[in-house]
Amino acid sequence: MGPENRFIARVHKHLPQNIYREKMHNAYRGGTPDVWYSGSRGDLWVEYKWIARIPKRGTIVPKLSPLQLDWLTKRKAQGRNVLVIVGSPKGALSLSLVKSWTKYQYIGERLFTDAELAGNIARRCS
């Protein structure tokens, strides 16, 4: 299991049982985010990315494929809940704005812990 999948598993350990989660890997269809979450309040689609380190300041470019960017952008335009979560050994960023999915100007914001990310996911879904 690679670092991205280990990161996802760590976040999932903190999710409440009432939040349904499903890995969305499909070799025949590209672009679908990594995980679909569902709860009493609604759905959330999350594309996870892993980087070795988040700089103190500077530009972070989540490595989304053109199909992933297209899928996320179109679902966001339809009013769906979508996120790109960029994880690192020190913490994670949760990006909800389309413009930040291709280039994110990081200026030392506080990083989320695995438990905080799980709480954010749970709040969006239930």
**Integer distance in angstroms from the first to the last C-alpha of the chain?**
29
Q: Which pLDDT score, from 0 to 100, does residue 108 have?
A: 87
CA 4 to chain centre: 11
How many Cα atoms sit within 13 Å of 38 on the Cβ side?
5
State whether CATH 3.40.1350.10 applies to domain 3-125: yes
Q: Which pLDDT score, from 0 to 100, does residue 29 have?
A: 80
- Please list the rounded mean pLDDT of every run of 10 residues in the chain (126 residues): 94 97 86 96 96 91 94 96 96 94 91 97 95
Report CA-CA distances (Å) from 85 to 28, 40, 56, 62, 82. Answer: 24, 22, 18, 9, 10
Q: What is the dihedral of CA 67, 114, 93, 30, to 10 degrees?
A: 0
pTM: 0.94
Q: Which pLDDT score, from 0 to 100, does residue 81 have?
A: 96
Give alpha helix (H) positions in 3-125. Answer: 3-13, 66-77, 114-125
Q: Which pLDDT score, from 0 to 100, does residue 56 have?
A: 87
Residue-range domain boundaries for the chain:
3-125
